[in-house]
A and B are shown apart, each in its own frame.
Chain A
Amino acid sequence: DAGVIQSPRHEVTEMGQEVTLRCKPISGHDYLFWYRQTMMRGLELLIYFNNNVPIDDSGMPEDRFSAKMPNASFSTLKIQPSEPRDSAVYFCASSLNKMGTDTQYFGPGTRLTVL
């Protein structure tokens, strides 16, 4: 398996623009997680899905952020409008089943820069 795939790897945009990050989880994995990494806060969980259903979005910073998982092999994280403070590395991860009996497999991340 190719692992978790994320695109784009790098994104530079201007404040106010819409940004869409994409993720393809490992085939057969039931859980998908979106994280944001910053120097100050480390790895923060934004939202996670189980069987394509959002379970916990309490980490989503504000209404400018939204995430979808239309099918088992694809998820998007959208920021609209983007702001400079959204600049960070965004990771997608997937796991086979309930955490504790498996671990999360991370993608390579998308480095977002908002000017």
Chain B
Amino acid sequence: DQQVKQNSPSLSVQEGRISILNCDYTNSMFDYFLWYKKYPAEGPTFLISISSIKDKNEDGRFTVFLNKSAKHLSLHIVPSQPGDSAVYFCAAAARRNTDKLIFGTGTRLQVFP
């Protein structure tokens, strides 16, 4: 049973436009959320995170939004660049109970010129 779901396996966006990647979760105990980026033949690398006490966190071109009532988060990339082409994983954790992250299945983003 997937507790963290990324329903779009792929997304294609033109350079300079906004990329929006979505993630849904089912476990109401999750209180910390992260996005990781993965290039081919490399391990995932941390991108941005958000705690459940916030509804938005911004880092340069990357912004994560959290809607706790909908159990939904999204990653916005503005403007998108070809170097952003990668697989993006959403992850969640219930920090009070455990040290482990639960990952989604990933969304492959392609940014074309």
Contact = CB atoms under 8 A, between A and B. Distances in A.
Task: Specify whether A and B are partners.
Answer: yes
B105 A40 contact: yes
A105 B95 CA distance: 18
B100 A106 contact: no
Interface in B23-63: 32, 34, 36, 41-46, 49, 51
B75 interface: no
Nearest to B48: A103
Contact of B44 (A39, A45, A56, A106): A106
Nearest to B34: A103
A87 interface: no
B75 to A, nearest CB: 15
Interface stretch (A13-21, A68-76, A91-99): A91-99
User: Interface residue tally of chain B, by bracket?
Assistant: 20 to 34
Contacts of A91: 43-44
A115 interface: no
Interface of A is mostly: strand
Contacts of A43: 44, 89, 91, 103-104, 106
A103 B46 contact: yes
Contacts of B43: 4, 91, 93, 105-109
A50 B98 CA distance: 11
B100 A100 contact: no
Contacts of A98: 95, 99
Given A42-B89, A104-B46, A99 B106 contact: no
A45 B93 CA distance: 12
Interface of A: 4, 31, 33, 35, 39-45, 48, 50, 55-56, 91, 93, 98-100, 103-109
10 contacts: A33-B100, A41-B2, A41-B105, A45-B100, A45-B101, A99-B93, A100-B32, A100-B51, A100-B95, A105-B43
Interface of B: 2, 6, 32, 34, 36, 41-46, 49, 51, 89, 91, 93, 95, 98-106
